[in-house]
Amino acid sequence: MTQQKKLWAALLLTGIVGGVVGMVLTELMHFIQHHAYGYTAFGADGTPISFREGAEQAAPLRRLAVLAGCGVAVGCGWWALQRFGRPLVSIQTALKRPLAGLPFGETVCHALLQIITVALGSPLGREVAPREMSSAFASLWIKRLGLDEDSARLLIACASGAGLAAVYNVPLAGTLFVLETLLGVWTQQAVAAALLTSVLATAVARLGLGDVQQYPLPELAVNQALLWWAAAVGPLLGGAAILFQRTAKPFPLLKRDNIRMVPLALAAFVAIGFISMFVPEILGNGKAGNQLVFAGLIDWQGSLTLTALKWAAVLLALAAGAYGGLITPSMMLGSTLAFASAALWNTFLPHMPSETAAVVGATVFLGVSMNMPLTAVVFILELTRAPAALLMPLCAGMATAVAAEKAWKSRYSGFTLK
């Protein structure tokens, strides 16, 4: 079998496995959430119950106890994995040395720990787990098929994008994530490979999860004032995203093979649990906060409070040594900040829809904080299935945010948080 045939056979298998991984991890997360917080998937009237609603219904002391358990899982789990397992390999490192791949057993355990802790209420994202597990499976086939370095790199990148596409039901965003963020190339082969794996993974995941719209919203209103607001607020959101990047950079506080990580993690997650007794919307990956502002179920003061508390919760989790993604947490920080700024705009300037502004803010903050502006735009459109008219405000806000980011980074390149 030629090298090209081996590669495309591996890509087909990777798409299928990525879909199964996304499906299994999603079901596992929901199973743990329902039992930890004591709620069912559907209410008495048959409507789905979200994690936000389930966590809100749980008693405050139960939330505290669950987060304490999460702290134990974080501290003991990652300490044991680092102490007794082979060194973990990030996807970015694997892309630099693709023939070495990722250690299979350790990566699977690492991904499961992420899903378990996010299900228990860790304020980090769940998207890294399916990306890493899919890439670990892809690594198994690199040596068996005798792939060369370029083919191995493409396979690992596509596996990572497939995991993202499957777990969020975003095939086009998964494709762009591979091309824009992981590979940084747009060759015909790379585009075809990324499309194949992400679309196939999404199709497989839908067999078990259904065609799930992550944020089912009424049709979002779009007007001219929203366009001007997006262009004006883009640099402010971009600056906030840069600050978020830099505040998260110093963590974790301890190396994860240090046994003192266990009490540190317990203390940090008890603190998160204490906050959640009063503001349960900080729990989980950030979807709860997005749901509130996208639907206009909160006022601007509550939105700013959520921004501050979610930011603090994410830093506490990172400081304790927890792993997880930052995609949905970044979206929540951007959406809540944008919702509050829209209220200020509407006080003095032509009115525009605050809920739609929140969607734009989530996109801009995500694109800047994760260095993936194109992926972020498509990702949000697929998550919300917003009308095409929203593209112009999204692009206006992203353009001014990215321009400001480049200017600020060049001017303050020596600034670091001590």
What are the pLDDT tens digits along the chain (418 aa)? 688 899 999 999 999 999 999 999 999 999 999 999 999 988 888 888 999 999 999 999 999 999 999 999 999 999 999 999 999 999 999 999 999 999 999 999 999 999 999 999 999 999 999 999 999 999 999 988 999 999 999 999 999 999 999 999 999 999 999 999 999 999 999 999 999 999 999 999 999 999 999 998 888 899 999 999 999 999 999 999 999 999 999 999 999 999 999 999 999 999 999 999 999 999 999 999 999 999 999 999 999 999 999 999 999 999 999 999 999 999 999 999 999 999 999 999 999 999 999 999 999 999 999 999 999 999 999 999 999 899 999 999 999 999 988 887 777 665 444 3
Query: Coil, strand or helix: which one is 307?
Result: helix
- H-run or E-run covering 364: helix 354-369
- Closest alpha carbon to 352 in 223, 231, 228, 219: 223
| 3 state SS for 137-162 | HHHHHHHHHCCCHHHHHHHHHHHHHH
Q: What structural domains does the chain harbor?
A: 3-209 (1.10.3080.10), 224-411 (1.10.3080.10)
Supply angle C-alpha 160, 166, 170, rounded to 5: 100
Helix axes 224-248, 354-369, angle to 10 degrees: 40
Phi-psi category of residue 14: left, alpha or beta, with phi > 0 → left and psi -120 to 50 → alpha? alpha
Which of 124, 392, 88, 138 has its CA nearest to residue 248? 124
Structure tokens given for 93: 């490192």
Please report how many Cα atoms fall inside a 13 Å half-sphere around the Cα of residue 81, on the Cβ side: 26
Q: Sign of the C-alpha dihedral, residues 358, 360, 365, 366?
A: positive
Q: Which among 351, 257, 344 is positioned nearest to 299, based on CA atoms?
A: 344
Q: What is the pTM of this model?
A: 0.94
Alpha helices in 120-223 (DSSP H): 128-145, 149-168, 171-176, 188-209
Question: Two tokens at 385?
Answer: 């299935």
Which one, of 105, 159, 107, 161, lies nearest residue 134 by Cα? Answer: 159
The CB-side HSE value for 414 (13 A sphere, CA atoms) comes to: 0
Report how far Cα 291 is from the mean position of its chain's Cα atoms: 15
Q: What are phi and psi of 125, to 5 degrees?
A: -85, 165
Question: Alpha-carbon distance 312 to 294, whole Å?
Answer: 22
* Whole-angstrom distance, CA of residue 50 vs CA of residue 33: 10
Structure-token pair, residue 238: 């971009």
